[in-house]
Structure 1
Amino acid sequence: MLTPHYLTPNPDGVLCATGTRWAVLMLHGFTAGPQSVRPWAEALAEAGATVCLPRLSGHGTTVSDLAQTSAGQWRRDVQQAVDGLLARGFDKLAVAGLSMGGTLALDAASHRRVDATFVVNPGLSFKLLDRFGVALSPLFHRVIPTVGPLAGDVNKPGVAEEAYSRTPVAAVQQLAKLFWTTRRQLVDIDSPVTLYWSSRDHIVPPSSARILRRAIKPHLLTTVVLERSFHVATLDYDAPTIHRHSIAKLLELSGGHRETP
C-alpha cells in the first residue's frame, strides 16, 4: 500500500508569486526509494510547489517484497496518487521521476490530466545483453532468484543512493512489462515533457531516450543533456541544473517568465 508523504510549499517561493498552485508527484527509481529524488522534491517545495513523495510498493522494505510486486501495482500506486492530488483542487499538476519513476510518470501522463512531466533518465528499454537475460528470466528466476544491484550509478564522489543490494529477477520481469506498456502509450501524451538525459548513463541505454524522442510530439518535448552525471543524476553533479530548469518550466507554464538555467 502506497503511503504518500507531502512536502509543504514555501509561501514565499517563486512559483507562489504567479498565484498558480502547483502539485508535483515525485517518483523514485527501481529498487531504490524517495531519498534518491528528495533533494529535487525539496527544491520544488522551496520554490512554492506542493510535492507528493511516495514510496512505491515493494520498495524500502525487503527484496522479497519487491519480488512479489507487479507492474500493475506500481501503476496503481501512481494512478491513486495522481487522482488524490487532482481531488485536492490544485491549479496544475506535474509528474516527475527518476529511472523507473520517470517511466511511471510518462505512463501517468498518457492517461491522466497532467500539465507537465519531468523525467530523468527514464527506462523504456534494456541494454542489448540485458534483453537476453530478461527474455530468459521466466526460465531461471526460481533457480537464480536475485542478481546484483541496479543502483548507485553516481559520478560525484561520496554520494550514495539508498537501494537494495540485490535485485529480484521476478521484479525485473515486471519492469519489462512496465516498459512495454508505457512505450505503447507515449503517443497519447498531450502535455509538455522535459527529458533530463545523462550522456554517461551506465544503467539505462541511449535507446530509451530515442524511443521517447520518436514518440512524443516535437513541440511538446524539451531535452536537457547532463554532461557530468551518471544515471542517478538527481544526486549527481547536474542536480542543481535539474532543479533550476524544472522550476523555470513550472514558472513558465503558470504564466511567469522563464529564467535561464
Structure 2
Amino acid sequence: MDILPQGKNSNAHPKSYTSTLPSASSSSQGITNLESYKPRGKRGGGTSEKSENPRFSHHSSRKNLLQTTRSFEPDYGTPLRDRAHRDIPIQVSGTFSQAAQEKATEMARIMTRHEDQINQSAQRILLQKQCLPRLVEIFEASGISHQVGGTKTLPWENLDQELIRIECYVTGWPEICLPKRFIARRTSADRIDFSSRPESWNFEQWNAMADQISNDAVRILPRPKRRAVLFDEGFHAKLFRTLDPYRIAWA
C-alpha cells in the first residue's frame, strides 16, 4: 500500500508529522516556579511537621544544648575496663569541677590506704614470726611454757595465773600490748581475754613489741611480797602502780 501523500508533486518530501506529546511549556502549566515547589507529606523530603510545629521546637534546642555542654561522647563499644573516663565529670575550660577534684582525692586516699594495709599486713606477719618465738623463750626461761599441736606458744588465757604461781611480774611490756581481762560473773576466777592474744595483734602492737625485744627490755622479774602487779612498762617509778587503768593487776 502506498503511504505517500497524494498531491500534485509526488516527488516532494513527505509531510513531517509532529509528536502528539505535549511540550514542556504545556506540561508545566499551573506551576509558576518549579524550584519553589515543595511536596507535602512525610515522604516528600520537605520540611517536617515537627520542625514547623512549635510543639516540637524543644527537640532542636535540647540537641543544641547537649552539643554545647558535652565535649566528648564515651565509646560504648570499648570494653568495660577501658571506660574509666566515663566516671570522670566532663572537663570544662581545661579545669575539673569541684566534684571531680573531690572524687579524685577520695579515690587516691582509698588506694593509698589499701596499699598501706597490704604493706602493714605483710610486715605484721614478719614481725610476728620474729618476735613470738622470742617471747616464748623469755617465758619458758622463767618456767612458763605451753604447747599446742607440737608448737610452743604462750599460755595466754592462763598467763596471769602462771605469773602468780611463780610469783613474778613482767616488765618492759608495751602498753599497747597489755592483755585484756575477762571477768567471769564477777568472781575471783578472772582470766585474760583470749581475743587479745599475740596472734591477733595488729601491726602497731607488733612494732612496739619488736622495739622492746630489740632493746632487751622485756623481762620476767620476781614480784615483791604484798604487790599485785603483773605487767609493767619497766620504769622503777611505775613498777607497782596497781591503780593505773592501763595496767593489769590482781590482788
Taking structure 1 as the reference length, the TM-score comes to: 0.21
Greater relative contact order, per chain length (Cα 8 Å cut-off, separation 6+): 1
Q: In proportion to residue count, which structure has more strand?
A: 1
Decide which structure has the larger Cα Rg and report it. 2
